[in-house]
Structure 1
Amino acid sequence: MHKMRIRHMLILLCPIAALWLWAFVVEPYFVIVDEEVKIYSPTWDERLDGLKVGIWGDIHGRGIPFETFRIERQAQKLNSLNPDIIFLTGDYITRSYFGKSMDEDALTAILSKLKAPYGVYAIMGNHDSYYSKHKVRRLLRAANIDVIENSNRKIITPKGDFYVAAIADPVTSSYSYRAAFKKIPKGAPVIFLTHSHDVIREIPDAASVSFAGHTHGGQIRIPFIGPLVTHSIYGRHFSDGLVQYENRLIYVNIGTGMSRYPVRFLCPPTITLAKIYKGMQSKSEPQPKIIKNQRRSTGAN
């Protein structure tokens, strides 16, 4: 009888241990998904068709073991995709439950290895404010990364020029579209960056396509249900991928880090390579998720 109980306990505990190992170790630290997407915009410049945009968001360097290992592998994966330009969409460093964050110099050393012909650009996220915006800006600039907040940059290429505009984190900071789009010529192709896609209704029509992060894709997904918490007013259906409101398009990257809980389940760390083309999204390509007038809040990150 005693042996039978032990056997039953082992039968019960083995799957639980396997799930724990997967969610806390394997998926967050050893799995990296690189997704390639095509995004079509009627206001893009066809001379720039096929521009390869690398998107990496929500790194969340924490003061726990193996963070350097995790983030180094993710940086190497992004470089291996050979993007023309790289955008980092916020939340670079986070304090763990023990009050420790990742060593700033270690994170700077990793981020300084990112390479793209037209540069590496970053915006700020809400966790960067919780940690220290001043320190995060300093470590990014030490890595030769251009930080854009309520401003824009003109990117000059042999095929034509385009602009990158960005606002400060809309959750924790004052942000201004007027400042972000200041002096951008009418009709110029513009890539717009924001940490959270909750502002999609506000994005000016001048933006050809937008990119965001923040949601982590839910970070924990339950089969047949999906993400439990999305950190967005638009709910679980819009927690990742291409989202559309009227004529505004925004791509929400799942990101690679973890915020409140050091776990990922059925939502692996993801780096995006987006190729931008002039035109409308064809039926053969993944269709955007359409936001209508309703709103639903599921909490804030």
Structure 2
Amino acid sequence: MLDSSLFFQVFYIILSFVAIWAIARSWYRQSKTLTHQPFKACIHLLAGYLCYLLFPLFFMVVYAWSEGMFSSWGTAIILIMILCLSYAHFIEPRSLVVKYTDYHLTQQAHTDKPLKIALIADLHIGLFSGSKRQIEKLIQQINIERPDLVVVAGDWTYEPTHELADHLLAFKQLEIPVYSVNGNHDEEFPGPPILEQLKFGLSQSNVIDIEQKVIELDKFRLVGVGDLWAGKADMQFIAKLPQDKPFIIVSHNPDTVDMVPKLAHKALMLSGHTHGGQVEIPWFTDIMMKNKSTLGHKRGLYRHAHADVYVTVGIGMVGVPFRFRVPPTIDILTIS
């Protein structure tokens, strides 16, 4: 039988070692980023590194229960919390899924070949997300799906490093067009001044910025609109464009749909921004979502008077290094 005093001595040594390592690692990592709030970035990173404490805590709780120090109910509750936090940090953020949605944008007969779009958003390359391995896995999965084009609905970054352009190079592996608009984090709302570096990285990776631009497709027009929080969400120019075919509008914040003017054809808007809540806890997440979307957009399709909006839950993380019941998602939209 293991002596309990020896066990807890070893446990506290491990706990102290991991805590010191986490603090040092967090400060080092933030020093490599372009952040203008180093202490805040360090705290955010620390929340992730301290998750490694969950492993010794798990064994400590099991040992304490076996020694009669904890009740069975107390042990079960603590272990469930540890397992949920471990899953939300170590497993779900790396569990890329693909979601398929059919959407009829035209009233014509649906006999022609539909348009297949891979919609992604909120990569948040930086503190928590967007490692080269994660981006390469994302690109590999998009290639497997063989869409006609890729749409990135903003928020490429979250306190990135000087290696941002290098991380984006994986997008050159796509042999289809990649169209993009910026999100609030790309526009420094909040975030460091990385816009020029992002533009350079995207251009090097053959990603096409379509903000305030029109891309002519076969049956549709693809239009890019700037970020709402950055004050760039001008929609009036769309009403002045030819109205002979429907518009697919790309704008990071789904609340921008409220600004779509009345058009000859009802439009479809593609957005991100909300992360689907990122951590899905009944009631609590819906309360917190009010800060992200005043119109109540969370995930999936929402219908409005002048346009419908489809909200993807995105790929990366901000604020806290967790995803729970909202795995990173590639949305494959088949539009006819």
Same fold (TM over 0.5): yes
Q: 1:49 to 1:233 in 2, by over 3 A?
A: farther
Higher CA-based Rg? 2
Q: 1:36 to 1:145 in 2, by over 3 A?
A: same
Partner of 2:221: 163
Match of 2:83 among 15, 18, 35: 18
- 2:297 is the alignment partner of 1:232: no
Runs of 5+ consecutive residues of structure 2 not aligned to the other structure: 5-63
Q: 1:65 to 1:46 in 2, by over 3 A?
A: closer
Q: Figure out how many residues of one structure are paired with residues of the other and give that number.
A: 263
- 2:130 is the alignment partner of 1:73: no
- 2:182 is the alignment partner of 1:124: yes
Partner of 2:318: 259
Q: Partner of 1:195: helix, strand, or coil?
A: coil
Q: Partner of 1:135: helix, strand, or coil?
A: helix
Partner of 2:172: 112
Q: Partner of 1:129: helix, strand, or coil?
A: coil
Q: Does the Cα contact within 8 Å between 1:63 and 1:103 map onto a contact in 2?
A: no
- The more displaced of 205-214 and 45-54 is 45-54
Alignment of 1:1-301 (within 5 A): 3-5=67-69, 8=72, 11-29=76-94, 31-42=95-106, 49-64=113-128, 67-95=131-159, 101=161, 103-116=163-176, 119-130=177-188, 131=192, 132-155=194-217, 160-180=218-238, 184-206=241-263, 208-223=267-282, 227-230=286-289, 231-235=292-296, 238-277=297-336
Q: For the residues of structure 2 that align with 1:180 and 1:153, how far apart are their CA atoms?
A: 12
| Cα displacement (A) at 1:180 | 5.0
Runs of 5+ consecutive residues of structure 1 not aligned to the other structure: 278-301
Higher relative contact order (CA 8 A, sep 6+): 1
- The more displaced of 36-45 and 67-76 is 36-45
Q: 1:173 to 1:48 in 2, by over 3 A?
A: farther
| Cα displacement (A) at 1:189 | 2.7
Q: For the residues of structure 2 that align with 1:270 and 1:208, how far apart are their CA atoms?
A: 23
| Cα displacement (A) at 1:259 | 1.2
The residue identity in structure 1 corresponding to 2:302 is: V
Measured on the aligned residues, the alpha-carbon RMSD in Å equals: 2.6
The structure with more strand, counted as a fraction of residues? 1
Q: For the residues of structure 2 that align with 1:58 and 1:48, how far apart are their CA atoms?
A: 32
| Cα displacement (A) at 1:174 | 2.6
Q: Does the Cα contact within 8 Å between 1:152 and 1:180 map onto a contact in 2?
A: no
Q: 1:101 to 1:218 in 2, by over 3 A?
A: farther
Q: For the residues of structure 2 that align with 1:147 and 1:45, how far apart are their CA atoms?
A: 32
Q: Partner of 2:256: helix, strand, or coil?
A: helix
Q: Does the Cα contact within 8 Å between 2:165 and 2:202 map onto a contact in 1?
A: no
Q: For the residues of structure 2 that align with 1:61 and 1:21, how far apart are their CA atoms?
A: 22
Q: For the residues of structure 2 that align with 1:215 and 1:12, how far apart are their CA atoms?
A: 30
- TM-score normalised over the length of structure 2: 0.71
Q: Does the Cα contact within 8 Å between 2:166 and 2:201 map onto a contact in 1?
A: no
Partner of 2:33: none
| Cα displacement (A) at 1:68 | 2.3
The structure with more helix, counted as a fraction of residues? 2
Q: For the residues of structure 1 that align with 2:92 and 2:286, how far apart are their CA atoms?
A: 16
Q: For the residues of structure 2 that align with 1:153 and 1:188, how far apart are their CA atoms?
A: 12
Q: 1:225 to 1:64 in 2, by over 3 A?
A: closer
Q: 1:266 to 1:94 in 2, by over 3 A?
A: same
Q: For the residues of structure 2 that align with 1:129 and 1:143, how far apart are their CA atoms?
A: 19
